[in-house]
C-alpha cells in the first residue's frame, strides 16, 4: 500500500469510528495561539501520515505547515498570546495539548477535567449541543494499532 493510500485508509477508518466529526484545532501563528473550528472535511488537508511510536505502525497526525495554518486561519480566532500559552504550559504538569483543551473548555465557560474517554465514545468538549474533538499541533488523532483494536472489538 502506498503512503497516500495508507493515509486515506487511516483517515477513513478514523472517521468511521469517531464519535464526532467536529474539531477545534489549535496552533501557534504570528505570536498567538489560534483555535480553528472545523469539521472532518478539512482533515485531509491539515493532517499527515507519520510514524507512530512504540511499534504502533503509522499514525494520523495534526502537524500543520505554515501553508496549512494559513488555510486554517479562515476558521480561526485567537485564543491567547503564545507567550501566555507557553507560560501556562511551563508551570503545569499537563502537556500543550491538555493545556489547549483546558483553555478552550474554559473559554466556553465550562470547567475542564482531564479524562481519557476514547474518541469513539465522546468529544473532548460539548458546546451548544455540539461535541468537539480538540487537538493542538503535533497531536496524534490515531494510529494503526488503535484502529486495529477498535475494529477487532466492533
Instruction: Parse the chain into domains and list their residue ranges.
Output: 3-145
54 or 65, which is more confident? 65
* Position 55 confidence tier, pLDDT thresholds 50, 70, 90: confident
- 109 contacts 29 by C-beta, under 8 angstroms: no
Rg (CA), the chain: 15
The sign of the CA dihedral 92, 82, 122, 61 is negative
Residue 55 or 84, more confident? 84
The enclosing H or E element of 97 equals helix 96-107
| pLDDT reported for residue 154 | 57
**Mean predicted confidence (pLDDT) in 96-111:** 97
Kindly report whether the global pTM for this prediction surpasses the value 0.85.
yes
Mean pLDDT value across residues 102-130: 96
C-alpha cell, 55: 511499534
Q: In this structure, what C-alpha cell is assigned to residue 125?
A: 468538549
Q: Which helix (H) or strand (E) holds 7?
A: helix 3-17
- 113 closest CA partner among 123, 127, 98, 128: 98
| 12: confidence class by pLDDT, cuts 50, 70, 90 | very high
Q: What is the pLDDT of residue 151?
A: 79
Amino acid at each position: 500500500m502506498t503512503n497516500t493510500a495508507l493515509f486515506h485508509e487511516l483517515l477513513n477508518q478514523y472517521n468511521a469510528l469517531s464519535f464526532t466529526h467536529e474539531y477545534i484545532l489549535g496552533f501557534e501563528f504570528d505570536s498567538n495561539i489560534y483555535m480553528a473550528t472545523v469539521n472532518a472535511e478539512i482533515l485531509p488537508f491539515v493532517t499527515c501520515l507519520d510514524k507512530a511510536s512504540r511499534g504502533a505502525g503509522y499514525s494520523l497526525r495534526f502537524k500543520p505547515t505554515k501553508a496549512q495554518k494559513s488555510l486554517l486561519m479562515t476558521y480561526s480566532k485567537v485564543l491567547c498570546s503564545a507567550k501566555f500559552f507557553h507560560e501556562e504550559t511551563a508551570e503545569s504538569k499537563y502537556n500543550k495539548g491538555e493545556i489547549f483543551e483546558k483553555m478552550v473548555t474554559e473559554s466556553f465557560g465550562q470547567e475542564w477535567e482531564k479524562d481519557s474517554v476514547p474518541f469513539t465514545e465522546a468529544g473532548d468538549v460539548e458546546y451548544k449541543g455540539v461535541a468537539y474533538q480538540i487537538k493542538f499541533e503535533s497531536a496524534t488523532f490515531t494510529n494503526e494499532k488503535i484502529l486495529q483494536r477498535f475494529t477487532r472489538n466492533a
